Amino acid sequence: MGIHFSLPCVPGMPLAQAVAILQKHCRIIKNVQVLYSEQSPLSHDLILNLTQDGIKLLFDAFNQRLKVIEVYDLTKVKLKYCGVHFNSQAIAPTIEQIDQSFGATHPGVYNSAEQLFHLNFRGLSFSFQLDSWSEAPKYEFSRRIVTQPNFAHGLASLQIPHGATVKRMYIYNGNSLQDTKAPAMPLGCFLGNVYAESVDVLRDGTGVSGLRLRLLTAGSGPGVMADAKMRVSERCVYFGDSCQDVLSTLGSPHKVFYKSEDKMKIHSPSPHKQVPSKCNDYFFNYFTLGVDILFDANTHKVKKFVLHTNYPGHYNFNIYHRCDFKIPITIKRGTSCHNPNIHSMGDPTTESVDTQTETCTTYSKWDSIQDLLGHPMEKPVVLHRSSSPNNTNPFGSTFCFGLQRMIFEVMQNNHIASVTLYGPPRPSSQLKTPDLPQ
């Protein structure tokens, strides 16, 4: 069940796809608000509010897939079920109309705090407001009842007066609106794209070595779309892989971005000694994976990975799908290290007496990462982003910290915007300033 414009808007749809649908219908859907918690983006759903259409699309804060469709103003939309309208200018969504269209269901539930009566079907709920009824509720046994636990026998019921109309309607997955979760992405939402269910950062004895991606795609039988099903595969890419290796492993990128200049050259120890390159490094941008891969312009081999978290309030929000990554952090505690939480990757001087492995994820905050890796010795690099020199970034700057061959881009709310992973150090003659996340 879902709401149709020209493409279906169904539970499980990724945020970026829903936004693309709304952008395509910008002449019809003229006002969309993006609602989220600036300080605690994981504590509340991400909401697209279609103010002129009386519809809210609620997306899970973690996986950013559609969880609930709420129609809060039924006067602004026409609704039909099985090809028959149950709400339009000519048809009021009364309790009788709901009964006629959807049939019998389980007893409803009355919320005294909201003064709302909820009539629930599987994946669908209707809310009726008590204070809008013209006649007083009658307490008797009925097919449509509301259990009243405060009553003496606990079995009293409330008959809904004739003509009571729906105040809100909810579409979701499962049996209960309170317990609903965003389902897996429907096959119809893949549209030929490959998505990353998870991304594991691989390590070897010297540090980060590459990525292992668990990929999802919609496959089908030999020429039969009815046999379409979810297909899962794992692919690995490593530092030093060639451009051809990555193409054969992950397929063609959505975009290839060539670096026109190195704005971070000023942070190099000897920027004036660096000879301008005749060719530019380039990125493979995999938007549905939430990953960028940087290739060296001379060797055409992988030298950096960028993992994007896609938090609202970041300049690049909704360009990438969220990369659900896991980075294993090895903490070595030794007698020669003054700070037991700091371990320099590739530094053999620390005598390890205890090794502990922790995990940094997309949802880790910068404070907790510092507790694992230690505090950076150098001040952060302030990263400004704007679409043109005359424009300002309404979300403000981010801060980039370098630790253990990783650059963490930190938002002002302490969440991680992106993580850049770079390979083993090259000879000093080839050493360049690390690139910050694009």
Other Cβ atoms less than 10 A from the Cβ of 324: the count is 20
Q: What is the pLDDT of residue 105?
A: 73
DSSP class of 135 = S
- End-to-end alpha carbon distance in the chain: 39
Q: What is the mean pLDDT of residues 401-405?
A: 90
Query: Is the predicted pLDDT of residue 32 greater than 70, yes or no?
Result: yes
Segment 192-242, tens digit of pLDDT: 999 999 999 999 878 899 999 999 999 765 555 556 788 999 999 999 999
Q: What φ, ψ does residue 326 adopt, rounded to 5°?
A: -135, 125
Segment 279-332, tens digit of pLDDT: 899 999 999 999 999 999 999 999 999 999 999 999 999 999 999 999 998 777
Both tokens assigned to 95: 């309790």
Query: Between residues 382 and 153, which one has the greater pLDDT?
Result: 382
Would you say 76 and 169 are in contact if contact means Cβ atoms under 8 Å apart?
no
Amino acid at residue number 184: A
Segment 111-144, tens digit of pLDDT: 777 778 888 888 999 998 765 444 444 443 333 4
Q: What is the pLDDT of residue 111?
A: 77
Q: What is the mean pLDDT of residues 330-358?
A: 54
Signed CA dihedral, 266, 267, 270, 276: sign only: negative
Segment 245-275, tens digit of pLDDT: 999 999 999 999 998 755 555 555 555 555 5
* Of 410, 407, 436, nearest in space to 208 by CA: 407
Strands of the sheet containing 406-410, edge to edge, are 255-258, 282-286, 291-295, 302-308, 416-422, 406-410, 398-403, 381-383
Q: What is the pLDDT of residue 147?
A: 42
Query: Is the predicted pLDDT of residue 109 greater than 70, yes or no?
Result: yes
Return d(Cα 310, Cα 63) in angstroms, integer: 10
Reported as a pLDDT band with limits 50, 70 and 90, residue 157 is very low
Reported as a pLDDT band with limits 50, 70 and 90, residue 52 is very high
Query: Between residues 388 and 346, which one has the greater pLDDT?
Result: 388
Q: What is the pLDDT of residue 130?
A: 64
Other Cβ atoms less than 10 A from the Cβ of 425: the count is 11
Q: What φ, ψ does residue 150 adopt, rounded to 5°?
A: -80, -15
Return d(Cα 210, Cα 221) in angstroms, integer: 33
Which residues, listed in sequence order, are joined to residue 109 by a DSSP beta bridge?
118, 147
Any idea which of 97-106, 271-280, 321-330, 407-416 has the lowest mean pLDDT? 271-280
Work out whether strand 416-422 and strand 138-139 pair parallel, antiparallel, or are unpaired.
unpaired
Signed CA dihedral, 362, 368, 370, 374: sign only: negative
Would you say 323 and 362 are in contact if contact means Cβ atoms under 8 Å apart?
yes
Residue 419: is it exposed, middle or buried by C-beta count within 10 angstroms (0-12/13-18/19+)?
Answer: buried
Q: What is the pLDDT of residue 144?
A: 43
Q: What is the pLDDT of residue 268?
A: 55
* Of 353, 345, 366, nearest in space to 423 by CA: 345
Return d(Cα 426, Cα 228) in angstroms, integer: 46
198 three-class SS: strand
Return d(Cα 127, Cα 11) in angstroms, integer: 20
Please compute Rg for the chain using Cα positions: 27
Q: What is the pLDDT of residue 148?
A: 43
Return d(Cα 46, Cα 81) in angstroms, integer: 27
Both tokens assigned to 37: 């918690």
131 three-class SS: helix
